[in-house]
Amino acid sequence: MTSGIHPAAWIPPFAVGVAGAAAAEVGLGLLLYVPSGFLGALTIILCVDMVALAAGLWSAPREVAPPWSGVRRAWFLLLITYVVGAVTAAGWEVLGGLASSRLSRGLGLAFLGAFPLYGTGLVIGASGSGESDWSVRTGVPAVIGAALGFAMVGLGRIGLRNAPFFYVAGVIVIAAGSLVQSRILAGKEDRWRECAEQGVAGGGPAVGPQVPSA
């Protein structure tokens, strides 16, 4: 039995792209409330965020057989990072701005940007587990979602005073994406087991379909 592309397969990476871009831009805006050294601060933040994203992509679980527990753990970790980001953004005014000290800048950079982008890399990398043509099925929707996330933050009229809104919205978007991903994985697991049973019935080895690793 051949497995086709699930019609909703683009939704999880798209949702993660939207949330990741929004978190990166809001975190950048909050952390750049600094009286001097704008370009230097911008460079450091962007470098740390991109390294975190790359680390997530590098360490993403790539499983070719059920139960895909690593993929589900990646989604859960990403959700937690956005909850922590929402709490950090909510405490922005209480802390007197995230640029008031080196400690607050470091914590803000970690909780508002680095951790969410690390989780984003984990999920984007894991979402292509067991799939061929990863760039089309996962990478392209994620980048388009990122463009939408940037537009939502930059062109919206919410403003940084309501920065926690973007992280809470990210939690909702990620939860929706994880539900779609769960349904896709459930369908893949059914097909995998069906192929395994057909292999047993035909006298072949009891293995699932051969899927190229990501």
Per-residue pLDDT in tens (0 to 9) along the chain, 214 residues: 445 667 788 888 889 988 988 888 888 777 776 555 565 677 788 889 889 999 998 998 887 778 888 888 999 999 999 999 999 888 876 665 666 677 777 888 899 899 999 999 999 888 765 555 555 678 888 889 999 988 888 887 776 677 888 899 999 999 999 999 888 888 888 888 888 777 655 544 444 444 444 3
3-state secondary structure the chain: CCCCCCCCCCHHHHHHHHHHHHHHHHHHHHHCCCCCCHHHHHHHHHHHHHHHHHHHHHHCCCCCCCCCHHHHHHHHHHHHHHHHHHHHHHCCCCCCCCCCCHHHHHHHHHHHHHHHHHHHHHHHHHHCCCCCCHHHHHHHHHHHHHHHHHHHHHHCCCCHHHHHHHHHHHHHHHHHHHHHHHHHHHHHHHHHHHHHHHHHHCCCCCCCCCCCCC
pLDDT score, position 105: 78
Contact 31, 99 (CB under 8 A): yes
pLDDT score, position 186: 86
pLDDT score, position 214: 37
pLDDT score, position 81: 96
CA atoms of 37 and 151, how far apart (whole Å): 26
pTM over 0.85: no
What type of residue is 182? Answer: S
| Fold exhibited by the domain 20-198 | Growth Hormone; Chain: A; (1.20.1250)
pLDDT score, position 209: 46
Contact 208, 67 (CB under 8 A): no
pLDDT score, position 91: 81
